[in-house]
Structure 1
Amino acid sequence: MPVRHPLFKLALRLGLPLGLSGALISTALQASPPAHAQSHQHHGGGGGHGQELRSDVELLVVLAQMQGHLLVAQELIQQRNFSAAEAHVGHPVDELYGAVAPLLRARRVPPFLPSLEALRQQVRLNPTAPATRQKLLAAQRAIGQAEQAAVPAAVRNQPATQRAVVRALTAAASDEYAAAVAEGRVVETIEYQDARGFLLEAQRLLGNTATPQPGALQTVRAMLRAFPNAQPPQRAVLSPEQLKRLQAQL
């Protein structure tokens, strides 16, 4: 598995190449800027959890990535692939929460890290117990509650905001898929599953919008054809280039 910066999946720092290029995020934000969101560059501090998010869209994307990890973890739990599920319930704790914590504190949003940690411990120690589903649902609710508390509904529900979040999620999925596929084969299972989770969350978001976006939903579903199951096929259904071309339609 390639060694990657802890914030590879964030790719939210404008101008910083953390896997998903800053150019892609900049394009998403510039093409459809929400009125309340302000994008910033922060040049101080080191890597990892020291890098803070500053805008509504950045925060919403990271929270959506958390939900994507939990969606694919849920599938893996149902398939009794508990070791893989543990990896995905761990990503929000290890890679993502530290990036949102400063902004949550600044906005007086109650922390939800304990819910994420409790889920990881449950999957690690006793994944077949009924408590696993309960803690998964609790973690998903906690992320959703943080989203509602941190970002005003008037901003969250703007079509421009929703488009920007979906573009960032699908661009991250495209990058993950490119890292997963080599010579027509899926060689990195975790990256494949990351991409699937992000697309599942993008599909869920588009399905819940007050303003229907059928074209975007159709495109995300077309991208999901590359991911027939949480377990990757031996041969890639779509090439990374094909997936990227689909994503560019959003």
Structure 2
Amino acid sequence: MGLGAYVLASGAGTALAQTSDADYSLHGKHGVQMAQAATHGGHGGEGGEGGEGGEGGEGGEAGESQALAGLSKEQAYLANISMIRGHLNVGNELYAAGKTNDALPHFLHPVEELYGELKEVMDEKKVPAFKSDLDKLSGMVKRKVPAQQVQEQTEVVLTRLTEATSVIPANTLSDPAFALPVVVGVLRTVTDEYTEAFEGDTIANPVEYQDSLGFARVANAMVELMTPALTTKDADAANQLREQMNTLLTTWPAVTPAKKAVRSASEVSALVSRIEFATARLR
């Protein structure tokens, strides 16, 4: 997996969909999707290596916004793993474009804002800690090491994320009643992050814009993997869900935000609400 491609999580891990050999190039050994990266990056800030938030986190994106309220512990756990993948998604895209400073926050935030949210389930299910792997990755990005080295360490982290997901039973992961609320929780976080990117009508915080993009991508990857099963359940509702997700993704034409946004924060919020409504028929 090269840094000329971005990483999209399967969201529910490799167990969510049983991929054939022909699917391997799409989903890969970590349950990831590969797609051509956009050619432009955004702007990011500096931060301390691997964790001002430490192992306990800072509450972070989902914790502060309560976007995951109402989810079970396992659902919230999966949502937070998916959002770590979302950060790696945009971080790798920016790093591949040579925008190493802009990429850095997206390698720091998994520890600062999300890793601590995983700890309860990790402890209960005896998932090996992988904070040191995340710290090593962010440290490499801070030092601006060659892209190949970042690529190799990203593969290590993706392996850890897949292992962390595998503690949830496969039949649970593949159940729309379990997985679709995870999608909704991630999309609610998209709304929060996208809203925080604005000052007035202008996108003034590219990092939050990029966070929302990465999270929207992983939510979309989850829906794509579930689409065959959802279509069997209710073809019309599944088609509506896919159309609305495709519309949502046009909010981010590039990883670098333009000053004038494609959609306002309220428009994204309304679209996410429609997506949430569409999922209700499919659970």
1:145/1:217 CA distance change after superposition, 3 Å: farther
Q: Out of 90, 108, 113, which is 1:72 matched to?
A: 90
| Correspondence list, 1:11-26, <5 A | 11=63, 18-21=64-67, 25-26=69-70
| Structure with higher RCO (Cα < 8 A, 6+ apart) | 2
CA distance in 2, matches of 1:132, 1:176: 26
CA distance in 2, matches of 1:118, 1:218: 39
- RMSD in angstroms over aligned alpha carbons? 1.9
Q: Does 1:143 align with 2:168?
A: no
1:161/1:214 CA distance change after superposition, 3 Å: farther
Contact 1:8 1:20 in 2 (8 A): no
Contact 2:223 2:242 in 1 (8 A): yes
Q: Out of 184, 195, 209, which is 1:192 matched to?
A: 209
Q: Out of 181, 187, 198, which is 1:164 matched to?
A: 181
CA distance in 1, matches of 2:177, 2:193: 24
CA distance in 2, matches of 1:94, 1:102: 16
CA distance in 1, matches of 2:179, 2:67: 20
Q: CA deviation at 1:136?
A: 1.3
Structure 2: segments with no counterpart, 5+ residues: 1-44, 46-56, 231-237, 276-283
Q: In the alignment, which residue of structure 1 is the partner of 2:80?
A: 62
Q: Does 1:155 align with 2:172?
A: yes
Q: Tell me, what secondary structure is at the counterpart of 1:211?
A: helix
Q: In the alignment, which residue of structure 1 is the partner of 2:61?
A: 9
CA distance in 2, matches of 1:129, 1:161: 37
* 1:72 partner letter: V
Q: CA deviation at 1:20?
A: 4.1
Contact 1:77 1:127 in 2 (8 A): no
Show CA shifts across 1:93-121 (max 9, x none).
Answer: 11111221232021111112222112111
* 2:250 partner letter: R
Q: CA deviation at 1:135?
A: 1.0
Q: CA deviation at 1:127?
A: 3.5
Contact 2:134 2:157 in 1 (8 A): yes
Q: CA deviation at 1:21?
A: 4.9
Q: Does 1:207 align with 2:224?
A: yes
1:129/1:241 CA distance change after superposition, 3 Å: closer
Q: In the alignment, which residue of structure 1 is the partner of 2:142?
A: 124
Show CA shifts across 1:51-108 (max 9, x none).
Answer: xxxx110111111111111111111112211112111111111111122123202111
Q: Out of 263, 266, 270, which is 1:238 matched to?
A: 263
Q: Does 1:87 align with 2:133?
A: no
Provide the TM-score with structure 1 as the length reference: 0.79
Provide the TM-score with structure 2 as the length reference: 0.70
Q: CA deviation at 1:215?
A: 3.0
**Count of equivalent residues:** 212
Q: CA deviation at 1:166?
A: 0.6
